A and B are shown apart, each in its own frame.
Chain A
């Protein structure tokens, strides 16, 4: 177990955002959180990251500081830093010497297919490339828990699919637990070994669906009968969760 939420509830000024909600993340699992807008799935992610505390309920995080990484919806790069310096930032904040941090950053950039773009500034990168830099920054600390908050929502379909495959290939190398938020059912089923469907806000678990099949996904996985069946199961749970 890498992280666990036990009957957490989160209240904001405008009312309850999440819960009661429970979720346990095992080592090496890839879990998709799917739900309608405003169901609190991003809140759940921030609880797992330790960026927010629940109003009630318990959070256990086995992954300590520096072992949890977050990728936000936007690339969230510092415009004044090169790609290399952006990726090296988490290491440098942890006190790693600059030369070593930069060497590890270059290696992480190479892993996401950005060898040669180390000196580029964010403004010079395409949306997909900037997202890869963001991914490299998350991976550079070799996290045990990788959290992605609708990471590809702003990208075009082809870039999204390529990045989904890249994330799974990267996952295969070090097998971190991955939790990602999406509202795209197909993307959830493709990338996750487990899809957790939330009801409309305040979100509770509507369904917890296991996805069969090898990881990373083989070619034509999306056209297989198993994929379609699971996707329909998730869609149905989503529809039930939204219904009043």
Chain B
């Protein structure tokens, strides 16, 4: 209770102050609409905005699945082969440090101008890839060294070691990596829509751009509210999933 009340109270206070300021100072609605106007715009555009939110979320989720499979497969290869590890790691870092905005035009050309949704997924994958990959790489090396010695002592094969020791030991790191990766996939999807999006993919970023072009500031903010709510919900869901996963892994 005490965790929910203070932020809600602060939000309510800020909204009241915002509303009062807009009315008292007669601020033009195209510059800063009052919260009541945003609420009206939200209600009026609700079906369009939820459809757009779903479109963005779908891109993020598909990207998360693809990034998850790719990064874990690659992490497993690097865990089994030191040469592959040395070869892959610097390239993975290059992906991490290159801004997605800078790669977007290239990806759009490769994915085909006719398939912008593929370009969006590919860009979101690029963003979500690194945290999962680096979590998996760290996790696969995180097993207790004495447990590793025990596996030596009992003559475990490399496959036994991978399946019975390194993979299970990596689970907490994988959970954490997916939590971060999912959040980044959503951000990546929105950024990709801004850069690569056209009228063909009508996600939330397109809604913001479109409303901005028409100076419908209330609709812009309404789209932002939906985006924020979606981000918070996704984060809460992933936190809960991580906690449940850890509880299952550790037994408590």
Q: Which residues of A come within 8 Å of B, CB atoms?
A: 49-51, 65-66, 68-70, 72, 74, 76, 78-82, 89-90, 92-94, 120-124, 141
Contact = CB atoms under 8 A, between A and B. Distances in A.
B154 A94 contact: yes
B252 A121 contact: yes
B165 A51 contact: no
A124 B156 CA distance: 27
> Is chain B's binding surface mostly helix, strand, loop or mixed?
helix
Contacts of B147: 76, 78
Give the residue among B146, B149, B165, B249 with the most A Cβ atoms within 10 A: B146
A76 B252 contact: no
Contacts of B252: 121, 123-124
A136 to B, nearest CB: 14
Contacts of B152: 51
A72 B169 CA distance: 19
A81 B150 CA distance: 15
B26 interface: no
B250 A76 contact: no
Contacts of B250: 79-80, 121, 123
B164 to A, nearest CB: 7
Nearest to B156: A93
A92 B153 CA distance: 13
Given A80-B250, A82-B251, A72 B154 contact: no
A51 B154 CA distance: 10
Given A80-B250, A121-B250, A123-B251, A70 B160 contact: no
Nearest to A52: B149
A124 B146 contact: no
B153 A50 contact: yes
Nearest to B147: A76
B160 A80 contact: no
B164 A121 contact: no
B155 interface: yes
Contact of A93 (B149, B160, B251): B160
Given A76-B146, A124-B251, A70 B153 contact: yes
A121 B246 CA distance: 13
Given A76-B147, A78-B165, A68 B249 contact: no
Interface in B223-252: 249-252
A241 B145 CA distance: 31
A237 B153 CA distance: 33
Given A51-B153, A66-B154, A89-B154, 5 more contacts: A78-B169, A80-B251, A90-B150, A121-B250, A141-B154
B46 to A, nearest CB: 45
Interface in B126-144: 144
Contacts of B156: 93
Contacts of B150: 70, 76, 89-90
B154 to A, nearest CB: 5
Contacts of A68: 153
9 contacts: A65-B154, A70-B149, A70-B153, A78-B168, A80-B168, A80-B251, A89-B150, A90-B150, A93-B156
B171 interface: yes
A49 B153 contact: yes
Nearest to B157: A93
Contacts of B149: 51, 70, 72
B194 interface: no
A92 B163 CA distance: 13
A188 B252 CA distance: 37
Contacts of B144: 76
B18 interface: no
B151 interface: yes
Given A80-B171, A82-B251, A89 B164 contact: yes
Give the residue among B146, B153, B249, B251 with the most A Cβ atoms within 10 A: B153
B154 A121 contact: no
Nearest to B252: A123
A80 B155 contact: no
Contacts of A78: 147, 165, 168-169
A80 B169 CA distance: 8
Give the residue among A49, A70, A80 with the most B Cβ atoms within 10 A: A80
Given A80-B249, A89-B164, A74 B146 contact: yes
